[in-house]
C-alpha cells in the first residue's frame, strides 16, 4: 500500500509540472498537504473507537483510486490535484492506524521490531519511486518528451494500482486475533520455578 501512495507523493508535483498541470494548482496542492495533516488527531480518535484494522481497510481501498484515475486522466488539472490530496489522506491513515494494529495483534515489544522492518520497506518504496522518476527523465530526453513520460508514468500508476488492490485483499483477509507466542526455554524455566515456589508454599 505504501508504494501505491508514495509514488504519487514523491513524483506528483515534478511530473505534474513537466506535463503542464497548472502551476497555481500544484502550489495549492502543497498547501493542502499541510492542512490535511491536521486530520491526524481526528483519525486517531476514530482508530480508538472503531479499531485500526477498519481504518487500514478503508485507506487501502482509497489507495487504489488515485493511480487508476491518473492512468486515464493524468492531464486533467482537477483530477491530478484530487489524486494528490487523496494520497495525502492515505498517508495519514496509514501513519495513525498501522502501529496500533501491530501492537494489538503482536504486542508492544514485537511492534517495535515489526514497525522498524515495515519502515525499512517503506523507505525502499520511496527509493524506487525517486530512482524510477530519475530514470524516466533521462530516457525521455530529460523530461522534454512528454508522451514518453506519460507512457512510463502510466505503467508505474498501473503497478501502483495493482499494489493497492493486493494490499486491500490482504487486509480484508487479516484478523484482529492476538498472535499466540510459543514459550521460549527461558520462559518455561521461569514458569516451572514459579510453580515450584507455589507448591513449596
Q: Which triple of cell numbers denotes residue 48?
A: 480508538
Of 165, 166, 139, 161, the C-alpha closest to 152 is: 139
Q: Read off the pTM.
A: 0.74
- Are 65 and 86 spatial neighbours (Cβ–Cβ below 8 Å)? yes
Total domains present in the chain:
1
CATH number of the domain that residue 146 is part of: 1.20.1250.20
Say what the pLDDT of residue 181 is.
Answer: 73
The b-or-e profile of 30-66 (16+ CB within 10 A means b, else e) is eeebeebeeeeeebbebbeeeebbbbbbbbbbbbbbb
pLDDT digits (tens, 9 = 90+) for 75-112: 888 888 888 888 888 888 888 888 888 888 888 777 78
Q: Which residues of the chain have pLDDT under 70?
A: 143, 183-201
Q: What is the pLDDT of residue 169?
A: 92
- What's the alpha-carbon Rg for the chain, to the nearest Å? 22
Instruction: Please state, in angstroms and rounded to a whole number, the distance separating the CA atoms of residues 13 and 64.
Output: 19
Name residue, grid cell 498472535. Answer: 179
Res 195: pLDDT: 52
- pLDDT at site 197: 53
User: What per-residue confidence (pLDDT) applies to 132?
Assistant: 82
95: containing domain: 2-200
List the grid coordinates of 156.
508505474
Amino acid at each position: 500500500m505504501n508504494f501505491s501512495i508514495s509514488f504519487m507523493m514523491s513524483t506528483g508535483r515534478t511530473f505534474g509540472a513537466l506535463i503542464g498541470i497548472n502551476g497555481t494548482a500544484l502550489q495549492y496542492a502543497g498547501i493542502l498537504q499541510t492542512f490535511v495533516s491536521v486530520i491526524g488527531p481526528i483519525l486517531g480518535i476514530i482508530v480508538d473507537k472503531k479499531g485500526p484494522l477498519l481504518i487500514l481497510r478503508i485507506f487501502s481501498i482509497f489507495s487504489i483510486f488515485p493511480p487508476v484515475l491518473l492512468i486515464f486522466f493524468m492531464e486533467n488539472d482537477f483530477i491530478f490535484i484530487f489524486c494528490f490530496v487523496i494520497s495525502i489522506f492515505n498517508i495519514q491513515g496509514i501513519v495513525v492506524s498501522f502501529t496500533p494494529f501491530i501492537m494489538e495483534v503482536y504486542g508492544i515489544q514485537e511492534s517495535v521490531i515489526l514497525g522498524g522492518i515495515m519502515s525499512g520497506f517503506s523507505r525502499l518504496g520511496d527509493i524506487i519511486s525517486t530512482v524510477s522518476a530519475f530514470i524516466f527523465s533521462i530516457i525521455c530526453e530529460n523530461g522534454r518528451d512528454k508522451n514518453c513520460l506519460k507512457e512510463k508514468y502510466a505503467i508505474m500508476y498501473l503497478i501502483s494500482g495493482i499494489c493497492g488492490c493486493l494490499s486491500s485483499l490482504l487486509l480484508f483477509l487479516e484478523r484482529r486475533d492476538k498472535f499466540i507466542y510459543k514459550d521460549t526455554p527461558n520462559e518455561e524455566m521461569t514458569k516451572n520455578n514459579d510453580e515450584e515456589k507455589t507448591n513449596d508454599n
